[in-house]
Amino acid sequence: MKVIQIDKNVSKPETLYWRGTAQAWGGVLFGAIGGAATANAGKSDAQLMLEFMAKEHIDISEIVYSQVTKQVAATSFFQISDADKSDATMVFSVNMYGFNKTHPLGSNMNPIIRITGKLNKPGGETIWQESEIVSDFASDNDQGQSLETYNKEPAKLKAALEKATEVAVKRVLAKLQ
C-alpha cells in the first residue's frame, strides 16, 4: 500500500461555463421586472450563479476535495497521511465546471465538470495524471434541477454538483488502480 497526502488546495477557474435558458437567473431571483432594475443588470447568468453559490457557501473546490478524500479512504489502494510521511501527494484541479440546459424545451440545468488528478513525488515530479469530464449527458449525472428549484432549495444545487463531482472523481481514480 502506498501512503499519500491529498492536497487541500483544489484550484478552479474564475469563470463558470454556462449554456442555459433564455430566462435570466436574475429573473428567477428577483422576478422578471425586478431583475432588470437591480444592481445585477448587465451581469451574465454565469456571474449571477457564481455569486449565488458564494452566498450559499457552495464551493466546487471543497466539493472536489471532499469527494477525493472520501473515495480514496474507501479504497484499500492508498493510505492517507501527512505530507512528511507520504510517498506522494495527490493533487486535483477543476479545469472547467458549470451548467448546461439539458433539453431545449426543458428547464433543468445539469452540472458539468472536468477535473484533473495527479500524483506528485515529494520533489514535485508528476508520476501519474488523468482527466475526466462529466457532461450533462452522463446517465449517472442525474441531479439537475431548474434554476427556480436551485434558488428555492440551494441544497439541491449542492447535491447536483456533488453528484457530478462524485462521478468524475470515481472515473479518475479508476484509472489509477
CA count, 13 A, side-chain hemisphere, 146: 13
pTM: 0.86
Query: What confidence tens digit (pLDDT) does each residue in 153-168 have?
Result: 999 999 999 999 999 9
Alpha-carbon separation of residue 82 from 2, 5, 6, 94, 158 (angstroms) = 13, 6, 8, 23, 29
In the predicted structure, residue 125 carries a pLDDT above the cut 70:
yes
Query: What confidence tens digit (pLDDT) does each residue in 53-100 have?
Result: 999 999 999 999 999 999 999 987 888 887 678 899 999 999 999 998
The reply to whether CATH 3.40.50 applies to domain 2-174 is yes
Question: Would you state the pLDDT for residue 1?
Answer: 54
- The proportion of the chain whose per-residue pLDDT surpasses 70, expressed as a percent, equals 85
Whose CA is closest to 109, among 16, 18, 15, 14? 18
